[in-house]
Amino acid sequence: MNLSKFDFTRLKNLLPSSLKSLSINPTSDLIREDENNDTEFYSTPRFVHHIDDRARYVLSQFYTYAIKQTPESITLDLCSSWTSHLPENFIGKVFGLGMNELELKENTSLNQGYTVQDLNQNPSLSKFSSNTFDSVICSVSVDYLIHPLKVFNEVGRILKPNGLFITSFSNRCFPTKVIRKWLYMNELQRVEWVANYFLQTDTYFNPMTINAYSFFDENFLPITDEQYIDPMYIVSANKK
């Protein structure tokens, strides 16, 4: 797998220039097949990768490209686990928030520590002061949020002005735990759905900065590369 160099400036925004707000019905769109407590589901650590090598590598390189890195910059890894998909040479402070403490303990990227919290039980980020983080990342987890607008509003609050929130996802999931709407959308519709979370929290996020990217298509990288098949999508926006 030779993926050492990327020109991320070639990425094309998948979204139309004028986004339309999509209706979200919590009682049908955000329910799940398994409504049991998520703490029980995630109580057993899963030291496995949820996307393949190629998707993980491209995501880490995008983080290098997009996130401001200084010794004093601080990133929050939301829905963190035993890996943050950040590059090994990442510069800056990183704090994690996730579901399983055994996984979080093994995450060497979390040089500022972590907290255990179920955002589906408590979507508040009151632990963090407003205007604290330079960036927030949420890797392959946005599809599990049942209070997405509350979480996105909280992320907006804790980001510094012009701070960046990056969400990423593929097409793998725990089907009983993702929101119902996710299972009935194609991949472009999922991109637009996540972009809508940013659009509907425009108290904090600048709609003009919402971008969505597909990494594996004829315009950027081959759709398949031998055994590497996982797609990777990123939707991001900056705080006003």
Say if pTM beats, i.e. exceeds, 0.85: yes
- Report the candidate in 100, 233, 109 with the shortest Cα–Cα distance to residue 173: 233
Count of Cβ atoms closer than 10 Å to residue 160 Cβ: 16
81-126 pLDDT, tens digit each: 999 999 999 999 999 999 999 999 999 999 999 999 999 999 999 9
DSSP-based three-state secondary structure for 217: strand
72-87 pLDDT, tens digit each: 999 999 999 999 999 9
Provide the mean pLDDT of the chain: 92
Q: Give the pLDDT band of residue 223 (cuts 50, 70, 90).
A: low
12-67 pLDDT, tens digit each: 999 998 899 999 999 999 999 999 888 877 767 776 687 888 889 999 999 999 99
pLDDT of residue 203: 94
Query: How many whole angstroms separate alpha carbon 203 and alpha carbon 192?
Result: 19
- What tokens does 121 get? 């039980």
What's phi and psi for 102, nearest 5 deg? -65, -40
| Domains in the chain, CATH or no CATH each | 8-238 (3.40.50.150)
Query: How many whole angstroms separate alpha carbon 38 and alpha carbon 96?
Result: 18
- What tokens does 24 get? 């979200």
Buried b or exposed e, range 20-34, using 16+ CB within 10 angstroms: eeeebeeeebbebee
pLDDT of residue 3: 58
Separation of CA 39 from chain center: 20
DSSP-based three-state secondary structure for 132: coil
